[in-house]
Structure formats: structure tokens, C-alpha cells
Amino acid sequence: MPQSQLPDLNTLWLKWMDSVSSCLRNNDYLGAIASIFHINAVFGSDNRVEFNTTKYNELTTASLRVMCKHCKVELARNEIEFVNLLLPFLESVITKEKYQNSWHCPKCHGINRVKTTEFIQDKFITPRYLGVVPEPPKPGFGLSDRREFERKARDWIRLTLDELSYALGLERREYVPINDRMDLADLDDND
């Protein structure tokens, strides 16, 4: 992309960010959302943020895994099935329980008790720039829906502006002159 397009990118970014700020000061959340769409349109197709709630939820959902104590293999929680096993008489007298919640490892076929199973939960760590955000909230009807829409709109705008700021950094990086790119590559390698 030619270097001469960089001032246009900066001008449009500032114009639409000013519009977002103005709309937020006036509690015009639909106007702020529209301005965000305009900001996103400024970027090249490689750096444009995608508005897709399903994809965003898949990327940000924490996953739960379990570790088999026999074969030390980590399995996704949805790969196993929990069952209640009848305990031997002596163990049931000692524990005062008739059944033990357990699961069967599909890899080694060992039986694991839930009480002694190691559960591993991956958490979504922020900031993490995914290039995708949920679709913007839509206003409802009535006073209670209006307050809920305002809260959701503010949260969505914050999240989306973070993604757009990251996308701007990526977009601007493409405008660096060829001879300066080698210097930036050297800086990246030192990190």
C-alpha cells in the first residue's frame, strides 16, 4: 500500500473517533456504534475487525479438561461421562456413602474418582486481540430495556475500540517504508 494513504487513514480515524466521543457524551449509543462501523471500514480487509457473536464466544469460552490419574492424559470435559459406581461394602461403611461419582478414561480404560481427579480450567486472559468482537447490542422497548441497552452498548463500545486500536497498529505497520521495515524486524526479534 502506498505511503501517501497513511494521512488519509489518520484523518478518517480521528474524524470517526471524534464522532464516537461526541455520541457518547450525548448518550447517542446508536450513533457511536455507527461511527465504530465507519472506523472499521477504514482498514484494509486483512486488519478489519469481524462482528460475529458465535465466533467470539467460541474463542473466549474457558475450557475445562480433566487429567487421568492412570495414564496422565488430559481430556476435554466433554469427552468423558460421569457415572455413579456402587462401592464395595467395607468402603461404603467407612465412607458412609453407597455410591462414588467416577469416570472412565477412554484412552487407558482406567476408572477415576471425581474427588481425586485433577480439573484444569483454561481462562480467557485479557488483553487478547482476536480480530473478532460480538455483534453490537440492539435496543429493546421500554424503560428497563433502554437501561440494559445503554449498559451493553457501553461495554461493547469499549471492547470494540480496544480491538480497533490494535487493528490500527497493524494497519499502520504496513505503511512503514521498505528500508525501515528491516529495523522494525530487528526490534521484534529482540523481544
Longest dimension (CA), the chain: 82
Residue 184 has pLDDT above 70, yes or no: no
Please state, in angstroms and rounded to a whole number, the distance separating the CA atoms of residues 183 and 179.
Answer: 8
Q: Indicate the range of 51-65, 94-108, 173-187 predicted with least confidence.
A: 173-187
Residue 189 has pLDDT above 60, yes or no: no
Q: What is the pTM of this model?
A: 0.59
What pLDDT score was predicted for residue 31? 92
What pLDDT score was predicted for residue 191? 47
Last residue of a domain, one of 81, 105, 121: 121
Last residue of a domain, one of 90, 121, 152: 121
Q: Give the mean pLDDT of the chain.
A: 79
Counting DSSP H helices and E strands in the chain, the numbers are: 6, 8
Q: What is the rounded average pLDDT of the residues 26-40?
A: 90
**Helix intervals (H) in 26-177:** 29-42, 53-60, 89-95, 143-173
- Tell me, yes or no, whether 170 lies in a domain: yes
Write out pLDDT tens, residues 111-135.
888 888 888 777 666 667 788 888 9
- Tell me, yes or no, whether 107 lies in a domain: yes
State how many domains the chain has.
Answer: 2
- Higher-confidence residue of 104 and 36: namely 36
Residues 89 and 47 in one domain: no
Sequence-ordered list of residues with C-beta below 8 angstroms from that of 86, at least 6 positions apart, any chain: 98, 99
In the chain, what percentage of residues exceed pLDDT 90?
9
What pLDDT score was predicted for residue 117? 81
| Residues of the domain holding 91 | 64-121
Residues 43 and 132 in one domain: yes
